[in-house]
Structure 1
Amino acid sequence: MKVRLGNFIYHHRNVMFPMFYVLLFLKGPLLMPDFRIAAIIGVLVAATGQLIRGVTVGLDYIKRGGLNRMPYADDLVQGGIFAHCRNPLYVGNFSILLGTGIASNSLLFAAIGIPFFIFAYTCIIAAEENYLRGKFGAEFNEYCRRVNRVLPRLAGLGGTLAGMRFNWRRLITAEYNSAFIWIIACHAAILQNIWLAGEYTKDSPLVRALHIGVGLTLLAYLVARILKKSGRLQQPALQTATY
């Protein structure tokens, strides 16, 4: 049952997930009394998730999105951060979602969105593991024996980071779009909270800082997109795996 649900959610995630993102901006009860504290905590949590994704992609990249919107892999990726956690990209994804939800200070998202994403990723991971076990058999079982599903194994992490070259071009190419989305979402949610609190004024240092942040984020996105389209961030041959 969980595998079937995971395959269904994986296939339709681009439609299902945005439906829950709307909860970020549907204001009901507040998660915390002070939206500023929520914003600081949320941005730090989301940035940690982006860091996890960035290190994972930069050290051992995989093609994303499966095949025909279903779990797929040519090879069983076990290098880089995948040597310490079987699903580091999902850990990063969930941290970003959790952080964005906290930054929005929305109790609705915390009560409805977060449980949904926990359920969704649990099912997707089950579906992917079922696929990988069927394709790679004993090799995948041995990998599961060595490496935790979600909780990272920190032993040897320093050696992994020191022993691999980080590919910044690959990181920018892979992550600029998703990073742009969550950063803009955080800015928009915080600005909305300032407005609802009656503190939105042109002279507010926080409002100015957020507007500058939106501008810089948009500029960075456009630069990354132009560089990618021009071929200056051309990637080497990629490994394929589910994410």
Structure 2
Amino acid sequence: MNDKSRFIRIGDFFFKWRNQVFPLILATLFLTFTPTKTALALSLPIVGLGLATRFATIGWAYIKRGGKAKQVYADDLVTTGYFGLCRNPLYVGNLLIYLGCFLYHGNAIVILAGGLTFLLIYSAIVAAEEHFLRAKFGKDYDAYAARVPRWLPLIWKHKAVTQGMGFSLQRALTKDYTTIASTLTSLGVIHLLRIWEWHPNALPLHTAISLVLAGALLFLTLTIRRYKRSLV
């Protein structure tokens, strides 16, 4: 485990600090560059696809992505459910969410710089995870990697990889509600920035509506969190 390349060490860093670094990157991009008009018919469906991918992945087969002590870790090699379609379905969902948010912002620099930045970051994180998994599970991981692609899902195998499995709506909701909440918050911030730039006279009304929606989202988030704790 000491023969790590610089790229893997970068992955270890972002795996450990992603909850702090990612919001900082997003805030820098969104606040530095002026949003432009964009097609909602393209950006929002991509965000929805990303959320749906994560939701379905967790509902079919959950895998702990938080690691242990903020380091890459896994007790078992999970290959069932959507992990039979591709090896990183949660990260595919994340990248789709980020891409959709960047497209919603509309600025070409945000789209290109943001998209490439997160693609590189997740590539480094995946390299770090693969380094760990290959060291721990050896030939089992090599066999898994040989039959399942890293990124591009084998959609036509959906029925085969989920056959005989039960989808847990409860698990999907209680494990991924924070991602849903943070995504909606990001879209709300971008929306207000767009209103500020293109329709400043409507900003007070949109701000008031956003605050009401934010309050409702906070209430739902706290309710789900309380429900989650009651299951323990």
Return the TM-score normalized by structure 2. 0.86
Q: Separation in 1 of the partners of 2:110 and 2:176?
A: 24
Q: Separation in 1 of the partners of 2:174 and 2:14?
A: 26
- Read off the aligned partner of 2:225 and give its amino acid letter: K
Query: Do 1:27 and 1:106's aligned partners in 2 also have CA atoms closer than 8 Å?
Result: no
Query: Do 1:173 and 1:233's aligned partners in 2 also have CA atoms closer than 8 Å?
Result: no
Query: Do 1:133 and 1:140's aligned partners in 2 also have CA atoms closer than 8 Å?
Result: yes
2:15 aligned with 1:10, yes or no?
A: yes
Within-5 A mapping of 1:43-82: 43-82=44-83
Equivalent in the alignment of 1:226: 223
Structure 2: runs of 5+ lacking an equivalent: 1-5
Give the CA RMSD over aligned residues: 2.6
Structure 1 residues 108 and 159, CA, compared in 2 at 3 Å: closer, same or farther? Answer: same
Structure scoring higher RCO (CA < 8 A, sep ≥ 6) equals 1
2:209 aligned with 1:211, yes or no?
A: yes
Length, aligned pairs only: 227
2:30 aligned with 1:25, yes or no?
A: yes
Structure 1 residue 88 displacement after superposition: 0.3
Q: Give the SS at the match of 2:156.
A: coil
- Read off the aligned partner of 1:117 and give its amino acid letter: F
Structure 1 residue 42 displacement after superposition: 1.7
Q: Separation in 2 of the partners of 1:194 and 1:119?
A: 31
Equivalent in the alignment of 2:3: none
Structure 1 residues 122 and 202, CA, compared in 2 at 3 Å: closer, same or farther? Answer: closer
Structure 1: runs of 5+ lacking an equivalent: 236-243
Structure 1 residue 22 displacement after superposition: 1.1
Structure 1 residues 195 and 203, CA, compared in 2 at 3 Å: closer, same or farther? Answer: closer
Equivalent in the alignment of 1:182: 183
Query: Do 2:34 and 2:197's aligned partners in 1 also have CA atoms closer than 8 Å?
Result: no
Within-5 A mapping of 1:142-181: 142-161=143-162, 163-181=164-182
Q: Separation in 1 of the partners of 2:60 and 2:32?
A: 39
Structure 1 residue 221 displacement after superposition: 4.4
CA displacement, residues 143-186 of structure 1 (integer Å, 9 cap, x when unaligned)? 00110000001232124345321111111111111211111211
Structure 1 residue 91 displacement after superposition: 0.4
Equivalent in the alignment of 1:240: none
Structure 1 residues 137 and 168, CA, compared in 2 at 3 Å: closer, same or farther? Answer: same
Query: Do 1:24 and 1:189's aligned partners in 2 also have CA atoms closer than 8 Å?
Result: no
Structure 1 residues 28 and 224, CA, compared in 2 at 3 Å: closer, same or farther? Answer: closer
Q: Separation in 2 of the partners of 1:7 and 1:75?
A: 19
Higher helix share: 2
Give the share of equivalent positions with the same residue, in percent. 31
- Read off the aligned partner of 2:31 and give its amino acid letter: L
Query: Do 1:85 and 1:153's aligned partners in 2 also have CA atoms closer than 8 Å?
Result: yes
Q: Separation in 1 of the partners of 2:218 and 2:41?
A: 23
Structure 1 residue 24 displacement after superposition: 4.2
Q: Give the SS at the match of 1:65.
A: coil
Q: Give the SS at the match of 2:76.
A: coil
- Read off the aligned partner of 2:196 and give its amino acid letter: W
Q: Separation in 1 of the partners of 2:97 and 2:192?
A: 18
CA displacement, residues 169-213 of structure 1 (integer Å, 9 cap, x when unaligned)? 111111111211111211221222122113643898xx59x937x
Query: Do 1:29 and 1:106's aligned partners in 2 also have CA atoms closer than 8 Å?
Result: yes
- Read off the aligned partner of 2:181 and give its amino acid letter: F
